[in-house]
A and B are shown apart, each in its own frame.
Chain A
Amino acid sequence: DGGITQSPKYLFRKEGQNVTLSCEQNLNHDAMYWYRQDPGQGLRLIYYSQIVNDFQKGDIAEGYSVSREKKESFPLTVTSAQKNPTAFYLCASSPVTSGDYQETQYFGPGTRLLVL
């Protein structure tokens, strides 16, 4: 998990509430990603960002929003429009190498979101 921190470890959301998950990296990586993982499943991409002030939707962006105001930070907001938010959320980062896109991704420890 080195170099990427996620907080909090556990997060509880009430009906109609927006919540924000934090992701910070000190690896000087340009690219950052948010994934959702449901029990016994693989990872599904929510949003990704290749550079500051730019981000792209992944496969399941509906009900989520992100910002990338700083290279080190890529917070994810789970909005009230996301009707089934209970899941394990993983943030990752990777360097963007010249002449090629990012290779290895480095993951944070994850945030488990539960709905009250």
Chain B
Amino acid sequence: SQQGEEDPQALSIQEGENATMNCSYKTSINNLQWYRQNSGRGLVHLILIRSNEREKHSGRLRVTLDTSKKSSSLLITASRAADTASYFCACRSGSARQLTFGSGTQLTVLP
């Protein structure tokens, strides 16, 4: 079963705008990660936020985590055409030795 579910499923914005993607999960987590996938390629790790953290930054990326609402958001600021990709959240829960991935948000940044 899917632990993380992203919203929206697809997002189209103009270059320079900010893009926000959301992830909801069902059970308590140890950490939540965001990955990026270019079409037909493998996934690339973007950022990890632990359950005791509320916000984390990495370059143009900002991730928030609200454990009371069981949700996370990924904000990409000043988007570029090269940011066009699918973005997935992945959760690790309890003693689980694996990540559970959501179904992803397809982001299109128009030049």
Contacts and interface: CB of A to CB of B under 8 A. Distances in A.
A97 interface: no
B98 A33 contact: yes
B42 A102 contact: no
A81 interface: no
Interface string B1-40: 0101000000000000000000000000001010100001
A101 B29 CA distance: 13
Interface in A90-116: 90, 92, 101-110, 112
Contact of B43 (A31, A50, A101, A107): A107
Contact of B42 (A44, A48, A101, A108): A108
A102 B97 CA distance: 7
Interface of A: 1, 4, 31, 33, 35, 40-45, 48, 50, 56, 58, 88, 90, 92, 101-110, 112
The 10 A-B residue pairs with the shortest CB-CB distance, nearest first, are A107-B42, A42-B103, A43-B101, A42-B101, A107-B43, A104-B45, A109-B42, A1-B42, A42-B102, A101-B97
